[in-house]
């Protein structure tokens, strides 16, 4: 069995943080087996290195290794990509196609962003994990495959399970062994080492002298939060290598390349974005208010029609006591004053003269019916959904990912809504 240090050199992994070493040790230990592995960690921490280590140290190393980004494949075609399809299975299926599980038979499949898989695909994947069987799209013939699955995700899987976006049984099948890679902010002693490695690589690539950091710049580098982790650090090193003519970088120059927010390791105090559950609750309250308004308008219409037919205010008040209390409140000391002028033009007008006086004007000229009021504001769910989508897109300057997160829907669903409403 190869040592952790030898594996680091072989796969170009830099760092000596105990949590990183422990993750590599677990990968080395499970590699000779066929156990399913779930790699967890934030985006940009280098999760793709672990499945490569596992594959190269296993008995499958001479067979296929296929990496699949589940979040990058459209929901309508992902089953075809993974399991293949028969000719004529759907529009455009002009020939039979082998999926990744058929091609990688005997090898390893790395499912990156596995938390983005649709629920229907999760059911198919669970069958592969349980007995190695799958069906091509449009086929009834069961096929067998012998693949080792290594999955990775930056999603909190327990939250996804609670929100019914990921199957609990599939999660426990995938995470027989869980390998967690630490974020860069928890590997402070490795940050400068990684920067020096990237700076050296870019100096060779662009045929320039290597950039170096002053002591103050190193302090700034180490204390930065690095939300994008290793990927962000690599981008900063590349920018400095290409753009800076002075190859010694001080703290002030370095700060100019770091994002204006989250420049420290201090924990966030305020949660700035609404969770999906928060937004859903607000949406439900809004719908309830709108439906209550519609019910009140219908009650007002009923009361008005009763007045028109009966003509006696006292009788109407007596016969509709519960309805009047619902509309105007339950204060027994208050009585309805129909003869006072009503300032709000949206409220139904009641004639000032006595109902017993001779009618000389048609009833239709004296009353405003509730149907006219209902035209003031639409209660269509279609219109409200369109309005919410427009507002969210405007708030986030057209960024669909942020808008989808605020609306509590997937980015694919938002994209479909945008096409549907021709936004």
Question: Residue 25, class by beta-carbon neighbours within 10 Å (0-12 exposed, 13-18 middle, 19+ buried)?
Answer: middle
CB 220 within 8 A of CB 251: yes
| Secondary structure (3-state) at 359 | coil
If you average pLDDT over residues 299-313, what whole number do you get? 70
If you average pLDDT over residues 175-198, what whole number do you get? 94
**Total tally of structural domains belonging to the chain:** 4
Q: Does 178 lie in the same domain as 34? A: yes
409 or 67: which carries more pLDDT confidence? 67
Tens digit of each residue's pLDDT (9 = 90 or more) over 215-228:
999 999 999 999 99
Q: Does 17 lie in the same domain as 104? A: yes
DSSP-assigned beta bridge partners for residue 97: 85
Q: Which of 182, 200, 232 is the last residue of a domain?
A: 182
CA distances from 313 to 170, 249, 306, 361 (A): 67, 86, 9, 20
Per the structure block, which two tokens stand in for 129? 């994990």
CA distances from 166 to 172, 194, 281 (A): 11, 35, 21
CATH of the domain at 411: 1.10.10
Q: Does 174 lie in the same domain as 149? A: yes
Q: Does 202 lie in the same domain as 163? A: no
CB 320 within 8 A of CB 306: yes
CA distances from 86 to 80, 136, 215 (A): 9, 7, 62
Helix (H) or strand (E) holding 153, with range, is: strand 148-153
Q: What is the maximal distance between C-alpha atoms in the chain?
A: 107
Cα 330 from Cα 325, distance rounded (Å): 5
Tens digit of each residue's pLDDT (9 = 90 or more) over 396-405:
888 888 888 8
Does residue 355 lie within any of the structural domains? Answer: no
CATH of the domain at 72: 3.40.50.300
Q: CB count, 10 Å around CB of 348?
A: 17
Q: Does 196 lie in the same domain as 157? A: no
The confidence score (pLDDT) of residue 337 equals 45
Cα 345 from Cα 191, distance rounded (Å): 68
Q: Does 144 lie in the same domain as 10? A: yes
Q: Which residue has the tokens 């009763």?
A: 306
CA atoms within 13 A on the CB side of 139: 21
> Taking CA 193 as the corner, what is the angle to CA 191 and CA 196, rounded to the nearest 5 degrees?
110
Does residue 145 lie within any of the structural domains? Answer: yes
The confidence score (pLDDT) of residue 7 equals 94
pLDDT above 80 for 232: yes
Q: Does 15 lie in the same domain as 153? A: yes
Question: Residue 96, class by beta-carbon neighbours within 10 Å (0-12 exposed, 13-18 middle, 19+ buried)?
Answer: middle
Domain that holds residue 88: 4-182
What's the alpha-carbon Rg for the chain, to the nearest Å? Answer: 33
Q: Which residue has the tokens 């919410």?
A: 388
144 or 93: which carries more pLDDT confidence? 144
62, 63, 69, 75 alpha-carbon torsion, rounded to 10°:
180
Does residue 141 lie within any of the structural domains? Answer: yes
Three-state secondary structure string covering 241-300: HHHCCCCEECHHHHHCCCCCCCCCCCCCCCCCCCCHHHHHHHHHHHHHHHHHHHHHHHHH
Q: Does 295 lie in the same domain as 176? A: no
281 or 31: which carries more pLDDT confidence? 31
Q: Which of 152, 182, 212 is the last residue of a domain?
A: 182
CATH of the domain at 215: 1.10.8.60
Q: Does 16 lie in the same domain as 161? A: yes
Q: Does 385 lie in the same domain as 312? A: no
CB 112 within 8 A of CB 70: yes
Does residue 160 lie within any of the structural domains? Answer: yes
Cα 265 from Cα 222, distance rounded (Å): 9
Return the closest-CA partner of residue 19 out of 34, 1, 40, 35. Answer: 40
Tens digit of each residue's pLDDT (9 = 90 or more) over 8-33:
999 999 999 999 999 999 999 999 99
| Secondary structure (3-state) at 333 | coil
pLDDT above 90 for 44: yes
Q: Does 81 lie in the same domain as 26? A: yes
Q: Does 288 lie in the same domain as 317? A: yes
pLDDT above 90 for 363: no
Does residue 261 lie within any of the structural domains? Answer: no
CB 126 within 8 A of CB 173: yes
pLDDT bin (cut points 50, 70, 90) of residue 46 is very high
Does residue 245 lie within any of the structural domains? Answer: yes
Does residue 35 lie within any of the structural domains? Answer: yes
If you average pLDDT over residues 328-356, what whole number do you get? 45
């Amino acid at each position: 069995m190869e040592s952790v240090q030898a594996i680091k050199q072989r796969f170009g992994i830099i760092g000596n943080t105990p949590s990183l070493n422990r993750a590599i040790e677990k990968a080395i230990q499970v590699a000779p087996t066929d156990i399913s592995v779930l790699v967890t960690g934030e985006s940009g921490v280098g999760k793709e290195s672990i499945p490569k280590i596992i594959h190269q140290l296993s008995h499958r190393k001479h067979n296929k290794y296929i990496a699949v980004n589940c979040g990058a494949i459209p929901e309508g075609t992902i089953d075809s990509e993974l399991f293949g399809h028969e000719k004529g299975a759907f529009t455009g299926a002009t020939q039979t196609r082998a999926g990744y599980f058929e091609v990688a038979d005997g090898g390893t499949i790395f499912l990156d962003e596995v938390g983005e898989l649709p629920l229907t695909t999760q059911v198919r994947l669970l069958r592969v994990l349980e007995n190695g069987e799958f069906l091509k799209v449009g086929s009834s013939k069961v096929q067998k495959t012998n693949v080792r699955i290594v999955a990775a995700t930056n999603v909190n899987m327990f939250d996804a399970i609670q929100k019914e976006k990921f199957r609990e049984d599939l999660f426990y099948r995938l995470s027989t062994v869980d390998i967690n890679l630490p974020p860069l902010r928890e590997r402070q002693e490795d940050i400068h080492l990684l920067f020096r490695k990237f700076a050296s690589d870019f100096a060779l690539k662009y045929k320039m002298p290597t950039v170096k950091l002053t002591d103050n710049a190193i302090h700034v580098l180490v204390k930065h939060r690095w939300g994008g982790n290793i990927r962000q650090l690599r981008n900063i090193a590349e920018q400095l290598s290409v753009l800076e003519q002075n190859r010694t970088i001080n703290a002030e120059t370095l700060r100019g390349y770091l994002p204006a927010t989250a420049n420290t390791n201090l924990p966030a105090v305020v949660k700035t974005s609404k969770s999906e559950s928060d937004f859903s609750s607000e949406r439900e309250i809004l719908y309830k208010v709108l439906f209550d308004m519609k019910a009140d308008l219908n009650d007002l219409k009923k009361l008005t029609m009763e007045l028109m037919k009966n003509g006696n205010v006292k009788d109407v008040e007596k016969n509709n006591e519960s309805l009047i209390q619902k509309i105007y409140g339950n204060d027994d000391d208050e009585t309805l004053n129909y003869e006072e002028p009503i300032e709000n033009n949206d409220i139904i007008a009641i004639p000032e003269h006595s109902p017993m006086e001779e009618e000389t004007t048609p009833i239709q000229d004296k009353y405003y019916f509730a149907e006219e009021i209902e035209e003031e504001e639409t209660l269509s769910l279609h219109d409200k959904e369109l309005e919410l989508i427009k507002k969210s897109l405007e708030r986030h300057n057209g960024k669909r990912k942020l808008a989808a997160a605020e609306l509590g829907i997937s980015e694919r669903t938002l994209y479909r809504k945008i096409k549907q409403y021709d936004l």
